[in-house]
Structure 1
């Protein structure tokens, strides 16, 4: 769900796991009514464990509905 801090929260978590993430690796798009915010992060993972930890931490955010 969209919130005032969702994008920053997601970027902070991703940067904890991928510190060299460039600014242009993050794209956002609000839903038609603005209730949801799609956040796309493009990165090259270094291990399966890195991805698992990243997904686990992102899914712990209350505002996150789904991760792919």
Structure 2
């Protein structure tokens, strides 16, 4: 593939079970804040969410499954979460 060729997106939209991992500082209200932000942009499947803390308890990882409709939606979720200052990484 040359530099001028465009790669096809790896995600086929809409994607009904798109996983998002959010890693951030453990603290009161972290989970609620993340869910509130993500729900502004997407429908969350609350049946399959997961949460765990790092071994020393400093960080919390939330895995949410959403209905992803396009790349802009994912970008907006990522941007708003990172802007909080409490989120370290969104995967």
TM-score of the two chains, using structure 2 as the length reference: 0.68
Matched residues in 2 for 1:32 and 1:2: separation?
Answer: 12
Equivalent residues of 2:78, 2:90 under 8 A apart: yes
1:13-62 Cα offsets, whole Å, 9 max, x none, are 110001x3222242110111111001111223101111111110011111
Name the larger-Rg structure. Answer: 2
Between Structure 1 and Structure 2, the one with more strand by share is 2
Alpha-carbon distance in structure 2 between the residues aligned to 1:25 and 1:49: 24
Which SS does the other structure have where 1:44 is aligned?
Answer: strand
Q: Which structure 2 residues correspond to residues 1-68 of structure 1 after superposition, within 5 A?
A: 1-18=25-42, 20-68=43-91
Moved over 3 A (4+): none
Structure 1: unaligned runs, 5 residues or longer: none
Partners of 2:46 and 2:68 lie apart in 1 by 16
